[in-house]
């Protein structure tokens, strides 16, 4: 990944790091049941130097918290089981990616899916990334149909 921000000012490396930290925070929040503001504060305090895009990290974690029911409902048609029966790491990855796909149209769907797959490979179960990929491919084709179709057209 480039270490230089794009024209829009986004540094892909810092965004990727923010997503990884968001996964850890959402995972911790899911398991502990602690108020999300406490989890965010803990991560922001302990790891501020590592969460270089702190604003994006906070947006992801707070966005998943504020929209959890809607995100889970949106995901349901693409899952082969209830969201509560999905592995906790993959569940956190799917919730974050769903938030990005549904609420952050500024982030290309391919970036969202690729980052989710890479994060699931790093932190999830052995084949969890294939599950995440399948779910998000189908979801993106529905939620971002125009963008997905445009990317599949021959140039």
Please provide the CATH number assigned to the domain covering 12-152: 1.10.940.10
**Mean pLDDT calculated for residue range 127-155:** 93
pLDDT tens for each residue of 52-95: 688 999 999 999 999 999 999 999 999 999 999 999 999 999 99
User: Domain locations in the chain?
Assistant: 12-152
SS3 107: coil
> CB of 135 within 8 A of CB of 111?
no
Distance CA 17, CA 23 (A): 10
Tell me the chain's radius of gyration from C-alpha atoms: 15
pLDDT at residue 129 tops 50: yes
More confident of the two residues 90 and 155 = 90
Whether the model clears a pTM of 0.75, i.e. scores above it, the answer is yes
> CB of 119 within 8 A of CB of 136?
no
- Mean predicted lDDT score pLDDT of the chain: 90
**Mean pLDDT calculated for residue range 119-133:** 96
């Amino acid at each position: 990944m480039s270490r230089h921000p794009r024209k829009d000012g986004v540094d892909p490396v810092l965004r990727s790091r923010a997503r990884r930290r968001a996964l850890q925070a959402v995972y911790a929040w899911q398991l502990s049941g602690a108020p999300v503001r406490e989890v965010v504060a803990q991560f922001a305090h302990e790891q501020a130097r590592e969460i270089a895009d702190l604003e994006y990290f906070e947006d992801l974690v707070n966005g998943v918290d504020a929209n959890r029911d809607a995100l889970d409902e949106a995901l349901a048609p693409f899952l082969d089981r209830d969201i509560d029966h999905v592995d906790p790491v993959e569940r956190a990855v799917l919730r974050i990616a769903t938030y990005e796909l549904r609420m952050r149209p500024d982030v290309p769907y391919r970036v969202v899916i690729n980052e989710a797959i890479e994060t699931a490979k790093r932190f999830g179960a052995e084949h969890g990334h294939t599950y995440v990929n399948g779910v998000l491919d189908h979801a993106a084709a529905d939620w971002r149909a125009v963008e997905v179709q445009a990317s599949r057209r021959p140039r």
